[in-house]
């Protein structure tokens, strides 16, 4: 577990739960809940589990609250499974401190989404969760032992200003639904050269250079070779990493006329790449290759599938901002609102989860543009 001790206020500390805390934790369960209590055996299991974060709040050496976070393998989700605050400590902000600590731990583990369930008749708890950014998205009928329904809530997490040292990479919000590629490319170019101008005019100009004209429906997305060529036209060196030979996007289009257009566009990109002596040989790249490229001062724009982010299963371009021992961080240019823009900056994804989302379509296409 991370952060063995965190001082949150003069009178309170938050630390990892220890086996010696189990008696106090089970006593706290009895104080706070009449049903669905965690047993001593379950507390012991969660203290030892690598897929759980169990933290306690202490005041004057007494445990006044705890919170339990469960992490799910193969997803970007965590679950705030249980939280309890002693009656005498309620109203002191203890619950907020506990949740904030678990949010930071979830992010350090590369899990940017937190979910929870709360009794539908617990209006006080629901109000607290909404205040700190959780949003209801469903109901579990007959969820608790007393047959109460549960409200399902979710929050997209981001690092607090006091703990994040990741605020130096330029961020740009795409101005159309189809220009994620140019937006990601502009962020990369501005990172490499602070005088590079990020604007809608430039965004649309880059899209015209790199678009595939059509996709499965609607406007075309940006082709990785097209983006790499656009970076070169802007005065930068670039290379493209593809794990598959061209063409890339033809098979997903059923309309014969659209397919013919995309085939022509892909052929044109291939010809231009050959003229630029840009290698299009398939490369089975991974995290270590990205780390090496970043260490050399390069920028990386990467194609991901948005299924685990928004359930749309759409191709989407992001720019990688950092890679550490646990996570890949990226800027997503497509927030759902200005209010939530921070949630889309330096999004942390665990290495194995990033490689899972950095694949698109049946062919598991993996594409990145490395810019020098």
Q: Does 210 lie in the same domain as 151?
A: no
Q: At what angle do helices 200-210 and 180-192 cross, to 10 degrees?
A: 110
Picking from 160-164, 166-170, 177-181, which range would have the lowest pLDDT averaged per residue?
160-164
Q: What is the signed CA dihedral for 25, 31, 36, 40, rounded to 10 degrees?
A: 30
- Does the reported pTM lie above 0.75? yes
**Of the ranges 108-117, 144-153, 288-297, 300-309, the best mean pLDDT one:** 288-297
Helix and strand numbers, DSSP H then E, in the chain: 11, 14
pLDDT in tens, 303-355: 998 876 666 667 899 999 999 998 999 999 998 777 678 888 888 899 989 99
Residue 165 lies in a domain: no
Residue 104 lies in a domain: yes
Q: Is 278 found in the same domain as 203? A: yes
| β-bridge partners, 77 | 113
192 belongs to a structural domain: yes
Instruction: Check whether 54 has a pLDDT greater than 70.
Output: yes
Domain co-membership, 121 together with 189: no
Q: Give per-residue pLDDT as tens, 261-298.
A: 888 988 999 999 999 999 999 999 999 999 999 999 99
pLDDT above 70: residue 165: no
Query: Model confidence at 363, in pLDDT bands (50, 70, 90)?
Result: confident
pLDDT at position 248? 84
Is the bond leading into 230 cis (omega within 30 degrees of zero)? no
Question: Are 263 and 150 members of one domain?
Answer: no
pLDDT grade for 2, boundaries at 50, 70 and 90: very low
Q: Are residues 152 and 188 in the same domain?
A: no
CATH number, residue 358: 3.90.70.10
Percent of the chain with pLDDT over 90: 65
Residues 143 and 270 in one domain: no
CA distance 226 to 273: 9
pLDDT of residue 9: 52
Position 26 in a domain = yes
Q: Do 127 and 256 fall within a single domain?
A: no
173 lies in some domain: no
Q: How far is residue 168's CA from residue 92's CA, in Å, rounded to a whole number?
A: 35
Between 337 and 222, residue with greater pLDDT? 222
Residue 169 domain flag: no
pLDDT at 215: 67
Residue 164 maps to a domain: no
Is residue 233 located within the same domain as residue 328?
yes
Q: Which of 124, 156, 188 is the last residue of a domain?
A: 156
CATH code, domain carrying 152: 3.40.630.30
Residue 110, both tokens:
């590369």
Res 258: pLDDT: 82
Whether residue 94 is predicted with pLDDT greater than 60 in this model: the reply is: yes
Of residues 191 and 217, the one with the higher pLDDT is: 191
Same-domain pairing of 267 and 125 = no
Q: Look at residues 123, 156, 189 and tell me which one is the last residue of a structural domain.
A: 156
Q: Are both 111 and 197 inside the same structural domain?
A: no
Q: Which two tokens stand for residue 291?
A: 């780390």
Asked if 355 and 208 sit in the same domain, the reply is yes
**189 assigned to some structural domain:** yes
Among 141, 156, 171, identify where a domain stops: 156
Work out how many domains the chain is built from and give that number.
Answer: 2
| Domain shared by 184 and 135, yes or no | no
Residue 16 belongs to domain spanning: 5-156
Q: Is the pLDDT of residue 61 over 60?
A: yes
Mean pLDDT taken over the chain: 89
């Amino acid at each position: 577990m991370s952060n063995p001790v965190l001082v949150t206020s003069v009178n309170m500390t938050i630390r990892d739960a220890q086996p010696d805390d189990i008696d106090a934790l089970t006593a706290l369960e009895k104080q706070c809940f009449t049903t669905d209590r965690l047993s001593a055996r379950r507390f012991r299991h969660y203290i030892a589990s690598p897929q759980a974060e169990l933290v306690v709040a202490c005041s004057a050496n007494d445990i006044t609250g705890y919170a339990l976070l469960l992490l799910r393998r193969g997803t970007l989700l965590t679950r705030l499974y249980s939280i309890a605050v002693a009656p005498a400590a309620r109203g002191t902000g203890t619950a907020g401190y506990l949740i904030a600590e678990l949010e930071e731990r979830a992010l350090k583990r590369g899990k940017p989404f937190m979910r929870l369930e709360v009794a539908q008749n617990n209006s006080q708890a629901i109000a607290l969760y909404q205040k700190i950014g959780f949003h209801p998205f469903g109901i579990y009928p007959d969820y608790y032992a007393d047959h109460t329904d549960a409200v399902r809530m979710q929050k997209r997490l981001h690092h607090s200003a006091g703990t994040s040292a990741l605020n130096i990479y330029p961020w740009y919000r795409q101005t159309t639904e189809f220009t994620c590629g140019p937006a990601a490319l502009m962020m990369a170019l501005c990172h490499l050269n602070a005088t590079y101008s990020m604007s809608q005019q430039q965004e649309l100009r880059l899209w015209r250079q790199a678009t595939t004209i059509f996709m499965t429906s609607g406007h075309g997305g940006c082709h990785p070779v097209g983006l790499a060529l656009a970076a070169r036209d802007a005065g930068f060196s670039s290379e493209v990493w593809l794990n598959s030979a061209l063409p890339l996007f033809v098979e997903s289009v059923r309309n014969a006329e659209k397919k013919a257009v995309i085939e022509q566009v892909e052929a044109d990109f291939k010809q231009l790449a050959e003229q630029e002596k840009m290698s299009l040989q398939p490369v089975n790249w991974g995290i270590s290759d990205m780390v090496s490229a970043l260490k050399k001062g390069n920028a990386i724009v990467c194609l991901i599938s948005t299924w685990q982010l928004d359930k749309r299963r759409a191709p989407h371009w992001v720019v990688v901002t950092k890679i550490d021992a646990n996570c890949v961080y990226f800027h997503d240019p497509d927030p759902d609102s200005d209010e939530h823009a921070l949630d889309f900056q330096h999004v942390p994804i665990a290495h194995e989860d990033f490689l899972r989302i950095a694949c698109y379509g049946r062919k598991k296409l993996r594409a990145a543009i490395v810019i020098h």
